Structures are given as C-alpha cells and as structure tokens.
Amino acid sequence: MEYTYDLLVIGAGPGGYVAAIRAAQLGMKTAVIENRQVGGTCLNRGCIPTKSMLHTAELYHEAIHNFETLGLHAENVRYDAQRIQQRKEEVVAKLRGGVEQLFKSDGVTHLRGTGTILDSHTVHFAALEGEDADLTAQHILIATGSEPSSPPVEGMDLPNVINSDQLLDATSLYDHLIVAGAGTIGLEFAGLYNALGAQVTIMATRDRILPKVDKECAQNLAMILKKRGVKIVYKARLKKITQTPEGQLECWYLDGEEYKSVVGDGVLLAAGRRPYTEGLFGPGFSVDQDEKGAILVDEHFCTSVPGVYAIGDVIPGVQLAHVASAQGICAVEHMLAKEPSICLDVVPDCIYTSPEIASTGLTEEQAVAKGLHVQCGKASMLANGKSLIAQQDRGFIKLVYDVDNDCLVGAQLMCARATDMINELSTAIVNKLNKHQLAAVIRPHPTFGEAVTEAIEDLDGLSIHAAKKKKR
C-alpha cells in the first residue's frame, strides 16, 4: 500500500516536534498536525513562559531584599506587569520560530489544523485555512499532550478563579493569591507571586507540600516559604468558593468536622493536568485508555491498535517535556526497528522554586522499598562558597548509593542551579558509575557543583566539611 506519509504526528509539543524532526532526519517522510502554536504547552503555556516570569521575579526580589547587603543601591524599584508579559512573549516567539525553522530545514511538513484518527492508517485533517483532507500514513503518533485539570468545585466559574494558562496571561497581579494545590505548578506560581511582593496562601490537600518529592526537600522548602511570608494550610481540600460582599473570593475547606476558609483576591486551581484527547478519534475508532482518559501503550509506545503510537502527557506516567521528547525519539526508533538510543528508566525531575529542586533515579525510601542495601551521602550548601556569595537559602545535595551493586541509584538536590547540576548525576546513574569513578572527577571551585564531591566523599565519611564539624 502506498501512503501519503511514513509518519503523521498529531501535536507539535516537545514530544511531537522532536519525534517528527528525528523521523525526518532518519529518512521518514513526516508531517505534523497542530491546531495551535508549535511548541505545545511547554513552550507556549508552561515551562518557558513560567521560567521567564520567574527569572524576572527573582531579580526583583534580589533588588528589594539583597541589594543593600551586596553594596548596591537602587531607588524606586518596581515592576511592570505588562512589560513582564511582553518579555515572556518575546522569549516564547523566538523559540517558537526556532522550531518552525527546524521543520523547514529537516523537511517536516507542518499542517495547521486538527487531526482526527479514522483508522490505523488514516487521519482526517481539518485545516484552519484551506482545504480539509484525509491523509494516510504508515505510522501515526499521538502527541496531543494535556490540559489543566479543574476539580468539580462549586464556585469555580466565579471571576478571578483561574487555571495556570490564564494566570500566565494576566497583565496585573493579585494582591493575595490563593493557590489550591501544592504540587509543582502550584509551588512555582506561589514562588513567583511571593517574589513580586504579593501575599500568598497555599492550600495543600495533604499534610505536606510536593507529595511526590523527597520528603526532606519538601520540608525544607516549606520552612523557607514560611520564612518568606507564605502561608501554608495543610489537609485543606477545597470544597467550594464563594464571593464576599467586598468582591473577594473565599475558599472553604473542611478541618475535621468544621468548615474553615481563606480569603483572597484570586484563586489558582493547580490540581494538575489531564490527558487531552478531545476530537482525536473518529466514529468507530478508539484505542485503549485508562479511567483518567490516558492512552495505554506498551514499552515501545504502541497503542492497542498496531501502527498507532502515543507519547508524552497523553499517556500514563510523568508529565515532563523532556520525557515526552525522549519517548518520541524512542517511538520513532522502534518504528524503524532500531534499538532505543535513550535510557527511559532514569528521569530527572526539576522544580523551579527558590531554591531549585531537582531529583533523578530513586529516593532513599524508594530504594529501600525495592530491597536495595543503600547508603546516603549528603553535603550541606551552608558550607558552599558560591552559595554564601549568592546569599542562597539553606540547601543540600543528597546521593543514594547501592552498596551491593556499587553504583549510584538516586540523587536529590535542593540548591541554586540544581536543575543544571542534575545532568551530571543522571549520567552517573545511567552508566552505573561507582564511588571511585564519581570521586575521580575534579569539580571546579568555587561552584555550586563542587558540593557533589562533598556528597560523594560523605558516603565514606571523608567529607572535609563533615570532618571539620566533627572536630568542633
């Protein structure tokens, strides 16, 4: 059978566009269907815009709180919310243009419109402009991503009750933002508003923030946030939202048998994200999905229908841009009967709070639960020269070591540049490096990264700073 394309990708987010480009580089005739901007959530409504705004907020916070200590003087420091938005859009547009240029240079056909799968080799393309068409492909890759998930809460349709997409587009800031949810999305926005001087209250549904993160990291961040004036209400599952006579929003939650409330100007519903499959399947066609709507796949990202693959946020598992990209590459390689070039077992996770949190591999609790005999090495950033120079809050680097197999299996970092340093430790875990190999590297001074050496040495009790501490 002759097909229009070798591969047809539905969705041009970090999973879809990376997969399409790699497929084209490997000789596949490839097209991508996207009904919004290329780059998906990550580039347009997630990773990139939030980090642009966080960078601005951190500089503002630094100017307000630390300049005098550093010997700098600045008067009338203020922020311009509209200019912050403009700068964010400039960054996004530049990166979006880069993706579109890659499509052109690698020969990927970019189709602007919506794709609906009719059968295992046919997609109906509804064009935003021009003619619709039924396209055929040897392989179809679903990369439609996710959308903000909103819990069915009474009052969620009130003015100023918003999701993360809407908050990113706001041209003015709330004086008091209530963040309903204490996961990654909620904590990053809480940090953004706090750094810009707003009052912030976090409603955590459990007895801790960041429930999927190493417990010590979560506890340390909670202490830092409280020190900065952020209020955290634990075990506060949002039940309803009402409007006060003054026009503010009141969030109600149960504390045992008693209803309690928090009042603010805006409410961010940060309950995570859900797979986006609206309009994806035509009449009489479907693939297996779980109870949450996520598309089920095997280890090669094949769905229940041969020839149809799915990757990224639309399948079960972690919802991270870099994971979607890696999955896309591995899926394409499987289509071409190639061995996967990326190890998908070790996933670095980054949270852009202040300080940053990054983890990879197993936590100590996870390793013990797997029956591993582990040893942990830890370095406090309080003794790190670069941290002191940059006036960083308390942080640490923790390594989880498999004693019996003599290899690193996990790392958790909470410090400045953690999201950059995690790369080295992911490399070490993937390549099963032992203590001797890890310790053989000279890490430059003064850097945040030299604390990795201290953590490695601490595995054998050889840390210089630890030795000094013991002598006191």
Token representation of residue 337 = 């009967």
DSSP class per residue in 315-365: SSS---HHHHHHHHHHHHHHHTTPPPSS--S---EEE-SSS-EEEEE--HH
Q: Which sign does the torsion angle of CA 195, 197, 198, 201 carry? A: positive
Is 445 tagged catalytic? yes
Burial tier of 78 (Cβ tally within 10 Å: 0-12, 13-18, 19+): exposed
Q: What is the DSSP letter of 296?
A: P
Distance of CA 389 to the CA centre of its chain: 28
Q: Tell which residue, 358, 371, 454, has the closest CA to residue 415.
A: 358
Find the catalytic residue in 65, 300, 373, 445.
445
Q: How far is residue 391's CA from residue 407's CA, in Å, rounded to a whole number?
A: 34
Place of tokens 């197999």: 405
CB atoms within 10 A of CB 453: 19
Q: How far is residue 271's CA from residue 281's CA, in Å, rounded to a whole number?
A: 26
CB atoms within 10 A of CB 229: 11
CB atoms within 10 A of CB 98: 12
The residues annotated as belonging to the active site are 445
